[in-house]
Structure 1
Amino acid sequence: MEFTNEQLQMMISEEPVGNLYPYNTKDKQQIEAYIQDLFYTINHLKSIKCEAIFDHYGSGYASYVDFFCYRKDGSSIVNKKYIEKDSLTSIQIEGLVLYISRLAPVAIIWRDKRHKAILDNGEDEFFSGMGMINHPHGIIDEPPSPMVNDFIEIKEKLARAGYHILDKEYLSQPLPFKTKIQTFTRPNQYKLFDAFFFWKD
């Protein structure tokens, strides 16, 4: 799937594109609800637990929703330790990150390690140390060995919902026109990636 310069410009202006409902309505509330439904679908897969960030990382505007998915059986945990002074258990988890675009029916998948803190009362949990990808180099096209079946299931759910997974090669192409995007990338280095996935504080 490739996009025209006009569509790329529209996305940079935060205007949704695409023929898939609800993106074709350009109604941002409907699109947000559609992405929430997708999250619930993926989060109900038998072996996967997912966390989602719908609040634009707490400020500004994110052109995508961040899903972090890892295995329920504990095999995604790479480190676990108790921090007595904070009365919490810190867990480092490796999983798959999905960026689901708010501006087009597209997504990317990459890997990240994130920290989860569990307080002694067992009720309060929160994630920290989240990575944010601002270039296409980290995108993966092949499943990591611990999550092969999960990767396949996630791709199937994305396809069923009408999402196209963009690949690293396409997103690494230089943006074919001059513009200004609110990203961490300098203007002379803009890639197609920057038109789809950007966050401004």
Structure 2
Amino acid sequence: MKDEVASTAGAWSGGAAAVEGFLRRVVADIGRLPHVGVHHAEYRHYGSGYASYVDVFVTRRAGPDIEGLSLALCRLAPFAALFRSSSLHEMPQLSRVADGDLPGWKEECRELRHILDRHGIALLDSRVLALPLDPLLRVETILGDPPYRVFDAWFHWID
């Protein structure tokens, strides 16, 4: 499996630099939300290797900075996944995908979905992300093991 842009819509039709600029604008819009703040966004592939996503750690505007959610914005297609998180810089895991509104985060989740919808990014749930890939496909990742899932194709990292 190659890490190539898999969509020809919007920013994805302009290649990696256009996608990066687009995702930076999405993160900036998230940072302007009334109830959600961007604590950190990792664009540098964690300093080494390759991440197929931008990792965004969001917190409540009115709350402790340590409590937050991770949002993975896919670099390959207009997809995102939201993860229950307890600390900054947790690698995405299928088992932590947040489906629906998380308890205590209803307004924040609504705001995030609104921004993603406005930018044409689909927020994928665990039902979709857990679907199996063709067993002949190989995903270069240290985040998962065969048999690979849809999650592994869109949200992977290799050092």
Q: Residue 90 of structure 2: which of 95, 117, 131 is its match?
A: 131
Deviation at 1:22, TM superposition (A): 1.0
Could you tell me which of 64, 67, 77 is aligned with 1:94?
67
Q: 1-side partners of 2:73 and 2:105: how far apart?
A: 19
Letter in 1 for 2:81: I
Shift of the alpha carbon at 1:141?
1.5
Offset at residue 137 of structure 1 (A): 2.2
Distance 2:29 2:154 in 1: 23
Q: Out of 80, 90, 93, which is 1:107 matched to?
A: 80
Instruction: Indicate yes or no: 2:30 matched with 1:57.
Output: no
SS of the counterpart of 2:134? coil
Query: In structure 1, how many angstroms separate the alpha carbons of the residues matched to 2:27 and 2:7?
Result: 20
Which residue is 2:145 aligned to?
Answer: 186
The alignment of Structure 1 onto Structure 2 pairs a total of residues equal to: 157
- Match status 1:40 vs 2:28: yes
Q: TM-score, normalised by structure 2?
A: 0.92
* 1:30 lines up with 2:3 in the alignment: no
- 1:144 equivalent to 2:117? Answer no
Please give the alpha-carbon distance, in whole angstroms, between the structure 1 residues aligned to 2:136 and 2:155: 17
Would you say the 8 A contact 1:62–1:197 is kept in 2?
yes
Q: Which amino acid aligns with 2:32?
A: H
Structure with the largest fraction of strand: 1
User: What is the CA–CA distance in structure 2 between the aligned matches of 1:67 and 1:42, rounded to whole Å?
Assistant: 10
Which amino acid is the alignment partner of residue 133 of structure 1? P
Maintained 8 Å contact 1:17/1:24 = no
Q: What letter is aligned with 2:91?
A: M
1:77-131 CA-partner distances (Å, limit 9, x unpaired): 3xxxxxxxxxxxxx7x12121100000000011111126xxxxxxxxxxxxxx21
Distance 1:138 1:68 in 2: 14
Q: CA RMSD in A?
A: 1.5
Letter in 2 for 1:45: L
Distance (Å, rounded) in 2 between the aligned partners of 1:152 and 1:19: 28
Structure 1 Cα separation of the partners of residues 11 and 36 of structure 2: 26
More off after superposition, 152-161 vs 139-148: 139-148
1:19 & 1:101 partners in 2: Cα distance?
14
Which residue does the alignment assign to 1:173?
131
The answer on whether the counterparts of 1:94 and 1:111 sit within 8 Å (CA) in structure 2 is: no
Gaps of 5+ in 1: 1-11, 78-90, 116-129
Please report how far the alpha carbon of residue 140 of structure 1 lies from its aligned counterpart in structure 2 after TM superposition.
Answer: 1.2
Question: Percent identity, aligned pairs only?
Answer: 32
Instruction: State the secondary structure of the residue aligned to 2:67.
Output: strand
**1:49 Cα shift?**
1.4
Structure 2: stretches of 5+ with no match in the other structure: none
Structure ID, larger Rg: 1
